[in-house]
Chain A
Amino acid sequence: MAATPRLKLPSQAKKGDIIEIKTLLPHPMESGQRKGKDGKPIPRKIINKFVCTFNGKPVFTADLEPAVAANPYMEFFAKVEESGTFKFTWTDDDGTVTTAEQKITVT
């Protein structure tokens, strides 16, 4: 399955609004605790860091641990004072970085 990040946030808001942001990245979040059919541990492979910035300034960041379930879903709020771009970054254990962006117009 293609790992397309999913975003849900308004494209328009009024100055000073507190908006709800929902993000989701399809990912197996293999904890490293499970064993495969051969009895050997399945290597850990998780998203270990999530960062959200707005016009380059940090908004929300999270360090994820192996107990987080597959397809990590983050829901948080942000106060918007100006138009700009939310940028989201997910960092995989293997170094893969997935990014997504969405613009918002603030009036």
Chain B
Amino acid sequence: MRQGGVFAAGAAFLIVAGGFVLVSAAGQRAQAKELAPLDTKGDASVRPWKRYDKWPKRDESKFNTLAKISSPPAPKEPRKLSGPIKGDPANGAKLVANRKRGGSCLACHVMGPAGGANLPGNVGPDLSEIGNAKLTDEFLFNYIYDPRVYNAETVMPPWGSHGLFNDQEINDMVAFLKTLKSPAVFKTALDNPEKRPAPVEKRANLDPMENPGMWTIDKAKELWTKTGSTGKSCASCHSNPAAQFKAWASSMPKWEPRLNKVLGVEEFITRHARATTGANYLMETDDNRVLSVYLHNLAEGQPIKVDVSSAAAKAAYKRGEALANRKLGQLNFACTDCHGKSANHWIRGQWLGALKGQYDHFPTWRTSQLVIWDIRQRFQWCQVNIRADELPPDAKEYGDLELYLAAQNGGLKENVPGIRH
């Protein structure tokens, strides 16, 4: 494909010298020659999309997703209390450490002895001495109920107004906060998020002894020569993939005018194979994943560089940026809350990286799942984690978001398959 592009550019140059009128005809021919066949009809993933069996099932339909705005609006005023708060500090201590209720307060705050001071996070301030701060009951209650009434920029979830805790539970947590009067005692140095060293990934992505993700490439090479219903295989046109795809994956995702959306490698595989070999490699199925690993792997070491030069691609990038900043789900997190404002902090025992660095190793082998995840599945899991409904992997919103994310990762070198927990 790259060779075709170079040839077409040369031809256009020659005709410019010959006469202006011919240029556009040559341009059209060149374009027609470059366009890879795509099946533009139908969906590239299963419909109706069904959440993975092992993922938590919850009804989050009331809250924003990347495709719709539906979360209740932030309250304008703090709620008035009828009197001083009567709460049970012992129950509050349990609630702040309860990971089933949206992740627990300890995910972001050091809170004295709560949770045994075991691996608390540091996205929010250390609350170990908040009981000395003489804060009013109303302030503490409302800061948990919906902190947006005091701080429009907060990343803290609106625990009350999004229905994660009821009023009595918040009262109990307020009562617990008021008992916190001395600095947290950490049992080990690792428990202190300020001193916990940032994780370093030392495993060699491309070593099959270390990364089982590499084993998928054998399967991809089998699929490459497997004929589909048209009697053709990938190899019929791409007989030398190592040369033909030396940089391709690093230029994806790309704005695709024929579909009016951004296409990533995985959706491209589905639609291109349907239009050529007749195989139907739906997104987030094993065959699609291994082919995506293979195509990314062929671009090993190439700097990521997405094309946002056209007006349509620029618009998609802008939409992607807006989506990355949209508050989603019951926990009301935007992508950039964790991977921007709070990047390089701990959320409980998990390190939050910046957007740059979240893309170059995808698709990646997940040691905790023993499968390959592509970037769209990672997007879906992020959303399920923040209690938002995920979209089907070929949703146009994911395309815009992936374009924005890839642009943030520009210059980083492709290193696929990655290996992550």
Binding site for B on A (CB under 8 A): 1-2, 4, 6, 8, 22, 24, 26, 70-71, 73
Pair A70/B215 contact, Cβ less than 8 Å: no
Pair A1/B209 contact, Cβ less than 8 Å: no
Q: Which residues in window 329-380 of B have CB below 8 A to A?
A: 370
Which residues of chain B are near A71, meaning CB under 8 Å?
212
Chain A nearest CB: distance from B283 CB in Å? 19
Q: Which residues in window 185-224 of B have CB below 8 A to A?
A: 208-209, 212, 215-216, 218-219, 222
Chain A nearest CB: distance from B421 CB in Å? 16
- Residues A26 and B215 in contact in the complex (CB < 8 Å), given A2-B222, A70-B370: yes
Task: Give A73's nearest chain B residue, CB to CB.
Answer: B209
Pair A2/B209 contact, Cβ less than 8 Å: no
Known: A1-B215, A1-B218, A1-B219. 9 other contacts (CB 8 A): A2-B215, A2-B222, A4-B215, A4-B218, A6-B208, A6-B209, A8-B209, A24-B209, A71-B212
Chain A nearest CB: distance from B226 CB in Å? 13
Task: Give A4's nearest chain B residue, CB to CB.
Answer: B218
Give the complex CA separation of A78 and B215 in angstroms: 27
Which residues of chain B are near A73, meaning CB under 8 Å?
209
Pair B208/A1 contact, Cβ less than 8 Å: no
Which residues of chain B are near A8, meaning CB under 8 Å?
209
Binding site for A on B (CB under 8 A): 208-209, 212, 215-216, 218-219, 222, 370
Task: Give A3's nearest chain B residue, CB to CB.
Answer: B215
Chain A nearest CB: distance from B48 CB in Å? 22
Chain A nearest CB: distance from B205 CB in Å? 15
Chain A nearest CB: distance from B366 CB in Å? 14
Give the complex CA separation of A22 and B209 in angstroms: 8
Task: Give A8's nearest chain B residue, CB to CB.
Answer: B209
Give the complex CA separation of A26 and B213 in angstroms: 11
Give the complex CA separation of A33 and B234 in angstroms: 42
Chain A nearest CB: distance from B102 CB in Å? 29
Which residues of chain B are near A1, meaning CB under 8 Å?
215-216, 218-219
Which residues of chain A are near B212, meaning CB under 8 Å?
26, 71
Give the complex CA separation of A4 and B217 in angstroms: 11
Give the complex CA separation of A4 and B208 in angstroms: 10
Q: Can you list 21 A-B contacts (CB < 8 A)?
A: A1-B215, A1-B216, A1-B218, A1-B219, A2-B215, A2-B218, A2-B219, A2-B222, A4-B215, A4-B218, A6-B208, A6-B209, A8-B209, A22-B209, A24-B208, A24-B209, A26-B212, A26-B215, A70-B370, A71-B212, A73-B209
Chain A nearest CB: distance from B285 CB in Å? 14
Task: Give B218's nearest chain A residue, CB to CB.
Answer: A2
Chain A nearest CB: distance from B34 CB in Å? 35
Which residues of chain A are near B222, meaning CB under 8 Å?
2
Which residues of chain B are near A24, meaning CB under 8 Å?
208-209
Task: Give A7's nearest chain B residue, CB to CB.
Answer: B209
Chain A nearest CB: distance from B213 CB in Å? 10
Give the complex CA separation of A2 and B215 in angstroms: 7
Give the complex CA separation of A6 and B209 in angstroms: 7
Which residues of chain B are near A22, meaning CB under 8 Å?
209
Give the complex CA separation of A71 and B215 in angstroms: 11
Chain A nearest CB: distance from B298 CB in Å? 19
Give the complex CA separation of A4 and B212 in angstroms: 11
Which residues of chain A are near B218, meaning CB under 8 Å?
1-2, 4
Chain B nearest CB: distance from A103 CB in Å? 19
Give the complex CA separation of A71 and B370 in angstroms: 11
Which residues of chain A are near B219, meaning CB under 8 Å?
1-2
